[in-house]
A and B are shown apart, each in its own frame.
Chain A
Amino acid sequence: MQARQAYGEQAQEQAAPRPAARGPRLGVYCGAGSSHSWLWLADTCEALGLGDLRFLEAGEVASGGLSGLDALAVSGGDTFAMAGALGPAGAAALRRFIAGGGLYLGFCAGAYLLLRSSKEPLNLFNLVEATIANLSRRLPQPLIMPEKFATPYGCDYVFHPVREALILRGQGGPLGEGEFSAPLYGGPAMQPAGPGVEVLATYQDFSQATRFLAPRELAAQTLLGRAAVLRGRLGAGVMYLFGPHCEHPRFAQANRRLAAILAEHTPSQALAPDGRGLAELGPAQARRLLSEVRRQVSNSRIVALALEDHPARWRMGGKVYEPAKLRVFLEALWSRTGALERARRLLVPAGAAELPALLAGVTESIRALRRELEEGQETTERAAGLFKDLRRAAALYLNMYFATAAAGALRPGRARRLH
């Protein structure tokens, strides 16, 4: 057990991933439009013993990056921005991937992405015959968090009456029939609108942790009894759409159900060779790279923590970001530095050499952001660039980490994490 004795932070042990366990080779979308929740997939999959993850930008999805994957997970963010970034080529690649037997896991924005829609560019997708049920033409006054309350959707609004943990009820299939909880952060309630779409779980009730952005009765009318998890099929492939974030690492019951889905879709054939052209760094090179990463992530974390209570909010597309989100990215790296420093060898994908410079830029950018906020300057453009760089750095780092883990090069030991 660990205990942080200053600042009231808590620690959690994290086991190193089991090396090269044959589970699905899972791609995780981390491109434009994605928020920070794709990082939860890294944590949860690692905890489930799935070490073969790779993190994909929009361009990689569109240009052959899905090849060799068994599954693709798309988590939260700005659905319109994701769809725009993926574009027609990405939509076509996704359709081919699923029809060819791929597994699609969509959470929140990743679920909206495949639902039926006439709105551009969402209409490039339309892969699951189901519609958004939490639409409203007129909105009540939000009780709290107006910035999280609704997202424009044509003449309507996608309406988010609650946030945080809800109780779901499984309707059979891999999710079983019992109740479990998962958090909702703007994800959909869904309505099947065609054959072959199965409801696997419904919104059953609110929990003590549920936060009401709209009156409770209205929230109940909007959500309870409606589909929270759907399954659709396309060719040889299967698509699971989750309104709530069942991939959130603090929701073990939901994670276990996710594991059941992944287990159902574990291919029996041997792993195809990793086609990314991974390079192995020599010990001195690896030490230099990891030392510089540690230096810059530490510098960034320190100033990001100092910024965390600042009331600044940045609207980027359909999403609102706050300073606390900066450290979510940085912690995803920091919590794995010890494990990588102890690794027997280090496997790096193309682009890893740019990590130190990228992270040094992140440090300077957060420091500048803090100065500019103190001076009352407009900072949205800087914040947008910063989050883009953080996404890129986290993807590069996690690709290095999981490639090293999948090669069985991590030594057993404790890693440390702050929450």
Chain B
Amino acid sequence: MEYLASDRIAIIDLASGEVNEEPYPDGLCQEKIGGAGVNLALYQQHQDGEPIVLGAGLFTGSMVPGSDLGVVTAKSPLTGTVCHAPLTQYAGMELKYSGFDYIVIKGAAASPKYLWVHDGIADLEDAADLWGQDVWAACEAVRANMGDELIQVLGAGPAAEQGSDLAALMINYWPSGDRFGLGRALAAKNLKLIALRGLGLLEIAEPEDFAAQCLELLGAVKGGAWAGKKGLADLAAGLGQQALADWLAPLVHRHRASFNTPFAANTFLFLEADPSQLSEPPAPEPGVLVGDLAALAGLQGLGLSAAEAGQVLGQCAHLGLDPAGVAAAAAAAGVKDAAGLMAGLATIKGPVPGLSGPLAPAAPAGALFGLAQSADPAWRARRQALAYLFGLDPLFMLMAPELSEEKLLELVGLGIGLEIGPEALDAAVAGIG
């Protein structure tokens, strides 16, 4: 594919250590769009190797508002079915610029490895020293070794190495939004982490028109019902969960948006001191980043204070656990206090409720910021599928109906010079269904 793509697919066989490249097949984009659609096709093509497939959406890393999403597709150790987990923050963007549009990782390595993907090169490196390290230490070690803090690290923590059901795929220091236990799937391949960095370029078919259309869309979405809002407390309030917002508010320190996403959906809680002081301590990531309202709501439901919840979330981040899954498992086990929960984190197990389809839920049910259609399950499901095909933030897609299907198809024409009609889009949506 000539535009908005590197036109390369990496096939990595961990068992043999071989790294091969394939061109992006002609016609695949028109049929599958991108992201989860192409990931699934590649998964099926290589399914004998129990692959984990990483892929960028059609617009990932572009000027289209909300273009932060990459997708990981694999069989979930939790559900036993193929799932698509989100790569938000800056990981999806970095994947897009890594020199590969899709990365298929199949087989299992005989000894711990990590994968270093950079500028169209995929290197399998020894990870003996990283195995057993917590998520933070492993991320910092790889960044220090390569000499760049902007490297995006998709990792498995100690929980994954020990086979926890709740071991999530992590992005750098924090949970990714994976609810399917893909950290465990990674560790089962003896793959500790995947480090991504690329200084590549993307070409655009009609760059001036594409940029103008994106800027127009940006102006339109920023006038949405959530204008002036930011962070998880505002999001909770926007869902009508004012009590959750009030519970959280005293600990809110700052917010962080994912790549090119106008709503900052990630909030740092500051536990060490009064967050209203605003000055940042010298630690590289002061506080605890929370991007998952379901996790917060679950921990609040256990009767924890917000500060206790923050400590649990911090520990989950180090161990590589899905905090929403932890909260659900703790509730199922009748855990009611923070000390008990923290003590049992290393061995916690439990089925995660609420995984009814192949996509991780982006937000609890309900109307977002008074947007009636966002309460409609069918509309939500369609918007989530579009997000995973086009590489757009799943939560933002629920908040920004201005990113209409008509506009997205128009941008396909301007961005990659291909005509994709509504019927083909319907088929692609159904394909990841």
User: B195-227 CB contact bits vs A (8 Å, 1 = yes)?
Assistant: 001011111100100010000000000000000
Q: Does B363 lie at the interface of the complex (its beta carbon under 8 Å from any beta carbon of A)? A: no
Of A1-9, A224-232, A266-274, the one contacting chain B is A1-9
CB distance from A326 to the nearest CB of B (A): 12
How many contacts between A and B, using CB within 8 angstroms? 70
91-149 of chain B: CB within 8 A of chain A: 93, 97, 118-121, 123, 144-149
Sorting the interface of chain B by its residue count into under 10, 10 to 19, 20 to 34 or 35 or more gives: 20 to 34
Q: Does B333 lie at the interface of the complex (its beta carbon under 8 Å from any beta carbon of A)? A: no
Q: Does A306 lie at the interface of the complex (its beta carbon under 8 Å from any beta carbon of B)? A: yes
Q: Pick the contact of A302 from B123, B148, B259 — CB < 8 Å?
A: B148
List the B side residues contacting A4 at CB < 8 Å.
201-202
Sorting the interface of chain A by its residue count into under 10, 10 to 19, 20 to 34 or 35 or more gives: 20 to 34
List the A side residues contacting B97 at CB < 8 Å.
6
Q: Pick the contact of A366 from B147, B197, B259 — CB < 8 Å?
A: B147
Complex: how many Å from CA A371 to CA B143?
12
Q: Does A299 lie at the interface of the complex (its beta carbon under 8 Å from any beta carbon of B)? A: yes
User: A1-34 CB contact bits vs B (8 Å, 1 = yes)?
Assistant: 1111110010100000000000000000000000
Residue of B nearest to A418 (CB): B199
Given A302-B148, A305-B148, A367-B147 in contact, is the A294-B204 Cβ separation under 8 Å? Answer: no
Check A299–B118 contact: CB distance below 8 A: yes
Check A2–B148 contact: CB distance below 8 A: no
Check B199–A301 contact: CB distance below 8 A: yes
List the A side residues contacting B148 at CB < 8 Å.
302-303, 305-306
Q: Does B252 lie at the interface of the complex (its beta carbon under 8 Å from any beta carbon of A)? A: no
Q: Does B430 lie at the interface of the complex (its beta carbon under 8 Å from any beta carbon of A)? A: no
338-373 of chain A: CB within 8 A of chain B: 366-367, 370-371
Check B150–A306 contact: CB distance below 8 A: yes
Check B204–A1 contact: CB distance below 8 A: yes
CB distance from B123 to the nearest CB of A (A): 7
Q: Does A298 lie at the interface of the complex (its beta carbon under 8 Å from any beta carbon of B)? A: yes
Residue of A nearest to B143 (CB): A306
List the A side residues contacting B211 at CB < 8 Å.
3
Q: Does A307 lie at the interface of the complex (its beta carbon under 8 Å from any beta carbon of B)? A: yes
CB distance from A355 to the nearest CB of B (A): 16
**Highest count of chain B CB atoms <10 Å: which of A4, A5, A416:** A5
Check A370–B207 contact: CB distance below 8 A: no
Residue of B nearest to A7 (CB): B199
Check B63–A302 contact: CB distance below 8 A: no
Q: Pick the contact of B199 from A1, A295, A305 — CB < 8 Å?
A: A305
Check A294–B147 contact: CB distance below 8 A: no
User: A273-314 CB contact bits vs B (8 Å, 1 = yes)?
Assistant: 000000000000000000100110011011101110000000
Check B118–A298 contact: CB distance below 8 A: yes
CB distance from A30 to the nearest CB of B (A): 24
8 closest cross-chain pairs (CB), A and B: A303-B147, A298-B119, A306-B148, A367-B147, A2-B203, A3-B207, A295-B121, A370-B147
7 A-B pairs with CB atoms under 8 Å apart are A3-B202, A6-B61, A294-B119, A298-B121, A303-B146, A418-B199, A418-B201
B-to-A contact residues, CB < 8 Å? 61-63, 93, 97, 118-121, 123, 144-151, 197, 199-204, 207, 211, 259
Known: A2-B201, A302-B146, A302-B199. 8 other contacts (CB 8 A): A1-B207, A2-B203, A2-B207, A4-B202, A299-B146, A306-B147, A306-B150, A307-B147
